[in-house]
Amino acid sequence: MDTQKIIAHTTEFVKSKLTGDSSGHDWWHIYRVWNMSRKIQRIEGGDLFVIELAALLHDIADWKFNQTEKSGLSIVSGWLKSQEVTPEISQKVIYIIEHISFKGEGEQDKMNLLEGQIVQDADRLDAIGATGIARTFAFGGWKGNEMYNPAIKPVSKMTFDQYKKSNGTTINHFYEKLLLLKELMNTNTAKKIAENRHTFMELFLNRFFKEWEGVC
Ligand code: ADP
Ligand code: NI
């Protein structure tokens, strides 16, 4: 297996699938998760090839964009097969992608592979901090949700079904997901980065509510 070549091909494949997406899952999201995964791997270890493949392919099978989670996963396994990735590596990548997604506060799945923990951390880090704020407003607009409505309160401990159907406000999404993520980081490296990004979101929210009332 020429791993370099497979990574280069996979990069092109993912770019062609996700370019132009406006829901926060564009190629640049993948690029940041890929980069951050490599950064975490340098400190935490794990098989770099598995990590890179999972980072690059993690959103191809997203439940939000496919008829079913299974049909998305078969695109990924078909791709890995076409690149002659060994079944052992392929299985790990599929396992990671199956377990990566946040499906509501009440639906936590345990990720058992270090490689998966790293990619999951990188994906979650991209949902918080300045980038996370930008993506969240982009996603809310894409979905047609209100930015903020003081009359609509956040829902805690949502099930996957509630989370999927949720049409709450974008500001509520901070309380339903984004502010919970720092506690869900798997690796120490990601925990440190998350603390910093979390503080930035708190500053942002604080300011947002003050401006809403014309305080500053
Ligand atoms: P991931 O790439 O981690 O799978 P998601 O698919 O859950 O992320 O979401 C993509 C981006 O859109 C994230 O930044 C996420 O916080 C944001 N997002 C997801 N659901 C909502 C929502 N209901 N309102 C606003 N933003 C959302
Ligand atoms: Ni993602």
C-alpha span between 160 and 61 (Å, rounded): 17
- Domain, as residue range, for 151: 3-212
Ligand 1, CB within 6 Å, residue ranges: 24-25, 59, 62, 64, 101-102, 123, 127, 132, 135-136, 139-140, 145, 166, 170, 173, 177-178
C-alpha span between 10 and 106 (Å, rounded): 33
Tell me which residue has its CA closest to atom 18 in ligand 1.
Answer: 136
**Residue 3: per-residue pLDDT:** 96
Tell me the mean pLDDT in the region 168-176: 95
Query: Residues 6 or more apart from 130 whose CB is under 8 A from it?
Result: 197, 200
| Six token digits for residue 59 | 């959103």
Instruction: Provide, rounded to the nearest whole percent, the portion of the chain with pLDDT above 90.
Output: 75
Provide the CATH number for the domain around residue 88: 1.10.3210.50
| Six token digits for residue 178 | 């984004």
Query: Residues 6 or more apart from 132 whose CB is under 8 A from it?
Result: 126, 178, 197, 201
Asked if the model's pLDDT at residue 21 lies above 90, the reply is no
Residue 156 binned pLDDT confidence (cut-offs 50, 70, 90): confident
The SS3 of residue 171 is helix
**Residue 42: per-residue pLDDT:** 98
Ligand nearest to the CA of 56: 2
Using a CB cutoff of 5 Å, list residues around ligand 2, an ion: 59, 123
Average pLDDT, the chain: 91
Asked if the model's pLDDT at residue 106 lies above 60, the reply is no
Terminal CA-to-CA distance of the chain, rounded, Å? 59
| Structural domains in the chain (count) | 1
206 Cα–ligand 2 center, Å: 27
User: For ligand 1, what atom is nearest to the CA of residue 126?
Assistant: 14
Tell me the mean pLDDT in the region 116-125: 98
**Residue 161: per-residue pLDDT:** 78
- The gap from C-alpha 35 to its chain's centroid, in whole angstroms, comes to 13
